[in-house]
Amino acid sequence: MELKVIAEAAGAPGGGCASSGCGAGGDKLAHLPEAIRAKINNHPCFSEDAHHHYARMHVAVAPACNIQCHYCNRKYDCSNESRPGVVSEVLTPDQAVKKVIAVAAAIPQMTVLGIAGPGDPLANPQRTLETFRQLSEKAPDIKLCVSTNGLALPELVDEICKHNIEHVTITINCVDPDVGAKIYPWIFWNNRRVTGRKAAEILIAQQQKGLEMLVARGVLVKVNSVLIPGVNAEHLKEVSRVVKAKGAFLHNVMPLIAEPEHGTFFGLMGQRGPTNDELSALQDACAGDMAMMRHCRQCRADAVGMLGEDRGDEFTLDKIAEQEVDYAAAMARRAEVHAAIEASRTAQRRQSSETFVSIASLTRRRPARPEPRPVLMAVASTGGGVINQHFGHAREFLVYEASANDVRFVGHRKVDLYCSGDETCGDGESVLAKTIRVLDGCEVVLCSRIGYEPWGQLEAAGIAPNGEHAMEPIEDAIAVVYREMGEAGLLEPAAGATQRMSA
Amino acid sequence: MAYKIIEGCVNCWACLPLCPSEAIRDALPHFTIDARACTECEGDFADPQCASICPIEGVILDSLGVPLNPPGSLTGIPPDRWAEIRTQIQAR
Ligand code: SF4
Ligand code: SF4
Ligand code: SF4
């Protein structure tokens, strides 16, 4: 469940904070009421900046599902609300509550608990709601959220509101039943299995109704869509328009993951996933005046920790069995840690705005020149909003676009998960070769350190490795590197062709 | 007259709460149906509930041992395609 944020606010394409690097997810949603921004300020899934600082966890209490998606194989896991791969243990509500308490005590950055499957949490209403009920009592400072395919949503909206859930994610892949029929082979509805177009029609109607009901009750709704080339790629622009019009505050377009070994219909039938370029292009097209989330990690349904890391192994049932947790002390400690994080975010924001003034002045000083071209840079970071990871340890890279006016987060790329969809995507490929392919289009990679061999290979591939900005705030460092590239004459519009790898 | 759950069931819990006869057990390695309790949903529902929500093909059998959801019926994946992929994977 993926989960997470933001682009341009209405009327400020590429501008405002998204670009200025003020670093506040909330500010990028400047068109939203204060109350909503306050709700997402420390939500790692909804605020692109918050995900550098705060942690979340999922508990897998909901194994049953009431529909079938062609990108899911329940023999393994849900590839949509969670990353494909086995959920290591399905928990009872009591076990889940125990785990959440243990994790929230051990990882004080934790702000959010989500239930996202492995099936559909609302197809398991007793298990899901019981977990929420206990948690809202025992850990009242943890935000609760839930992901759903929407089929059972309308009938459960009242229950959901009762448990004080602030955020709901609905996966909506289409608003046209003809498109839906290509994604959903069947649903379970009114005690029978319904197939084909009729099934999609019912599901779509329920999703839209559920969305409207939640918005009417003031619950924040994020919409996830899985981008399936040739099936709903064009159609997602329409989906984005519709859900935005109905009050969803965030739209997260995620790439289809379809490998034959996952055993899904799409995987086995050879349906390809989107390339990085197709995904960004669609995210840009959907952005418009709607916040788009670009830092979604398609996490597992039992993920624990900061986005992009998974500390689930530290908290298996047997490991937490003997732990006694002092709730009150843990909550006090969380409050302290969160206050410290907020103080450092504010400080970073202040610094960044200074840096950004200087970039803008760089262009102003040279009015005769054509505007320097934008450059994509990749960053290895384990969190905290700083460059702090060894190149060779990175399992994913954050990708930013630096341009004359701003530094903008455009997404992340996983080294071990995404297939860019081309022919070279084979098993024999070395991790380094794969990483280089994943970084296609980036001209610089910033990391804390990098080995000699990868250094040479990256350079050979036209990507400049850079370890000079270790422990510096990401956006500031990118701004500096971009300015240096300008000074070295690397930003002439024509230089792009030779700098980039062949796409 | 009773249905049966066989190996291949993924213990997903979807069927258990739907059974009007409380005939389904969350047993290991896979769920089972208590043959004495199962009514095939006669009198309660037009369709047997367990077989109507089960996402896995071939794991619920009727009293003649015939799968209620035969291969290809739920996923749309033709059985020969499955066979082919399986052969490929096993040849690795
Ligand atoms: S809703 Fe989620 S769990 Fe259910 S079939 Fe779809 S992807 Fe799988
Ligand atoms: S057929 Fe009906 S009564 Fe029998 S196990 Fe399935 S759901 Fe229960
Ligand atoms: S629905 Fe099917 S797979 Fe799930 S527990 Fe029941 S028999 Fe097993």
Fold of A369-488: Nucleotidyltransferase; domain 5 (3.30.420)
- In angstroms, rounded to a whole number, what is the distance separating the alpha carbons of residues A99 and A81? 20
**Owning domain of residue B47:** 1-91
pLDDT digits (tens, 9 = 90+) for A253-270: 888 988 777 778 888 888
Q: What is the pLDDT of residue A182?
A: 93
CA A265 vs CA A397, B75, B85: distances in Å: 29, 6, 12
- Chain centroid to Cα A334, Å, comes to 23
pTM listed for this prediction: 0.70
* A149 Cβ under 8 Å from any chain B Cβ: no
Look over chain A and give the mean of its residue pLDDT values, rounded to a whole number.
75
- Read off the CATH number of the domain in which B51 is found: 3.30.70.20
ipTM attached to this prediction = 0.90
* Subunit contact B12:A74, Cβ cutoff 8 A: yes
pLDDT digits (tens, 9 = 90+) for A80-108: 433 333 455 788 999 999 988 888 888 88
Q: What is the pLDDT of residue A310?
A: 61
A466 near A481, Cβ under 8 Å? Answer: yes
pLDDT digits (tens, 9 = 90+) for A380-405: 987 767 888 888 888 888 888 888 87
> Which residues of chain A does CATH 3.30.420.130 include?
369-488
**Residue A159 pLDDT exceeds 50:** yes
* Closest C-alpha residue for ligand 3 atom 3: B9
Q: What is the pLDDT of residue A361?
A: 42
Q: Which of A246, A230, A265, A239 is nearest to A421 (CA)?
A: A230
Better-predicted residue by pLDDT, B25 or A412: B25
- In angstroms, rounded to a whole number, what is the distance separating the alpha carbons of residues A54 and A411? 18
Give the CATH superfamily of A34-321. Aldolase class I (3.20.20.70)
A148 near A119, Cβ under 8 Å? Answer: no
> Which residues of chain A does CATH 3.20.20.70 include?
34-321
- pLDDT above 70 covers a percentage of chain A that reads 71
A468-478 mean pLDDT: 87
Q: What is the pLDDT of residue A344?
A: 72
Q: Name the range with the highest mean pLDDT among A185-194, A278-287, A361-370.
A: A185-194
> CA B85, A75, A147: angle at the middle one, nearest 5?
125
- In angstroms, rounded to a whole number, what is the distance separating the alpha carbons of residues A502 and B88? 32
Q: How many domains does chain B have?
A: 1
* B9 Cβ under 8 Å from any chain A Cβ: no
* A63 Cβ under 8 Å from any chain B Cβ: yes
Q: Which residues of chain B have pLDDT under 50?
A: none
pLDDT digits (tens, 9 = 90+) for A296-335: 445 555 565 555 556 666 777 777 777 777 777 777 777 8
From the CA of B45, how far away is ligand 2's center (Å)? 10
CA A101 vs CA A54, A94, A121, A305, A423: distances in Å: 16, 11, 20, 13, 46
Nearest to B14 among A64, A265, A269 (CB): A64
CA A314 vs CA A96, A138, A320: distances in Å: 14, 22, 9
Q: What is the pLDDT of residue B83?
A: 76
Give A288's pLDDT tier (boundaries 50, 70, 90).
Answer: low
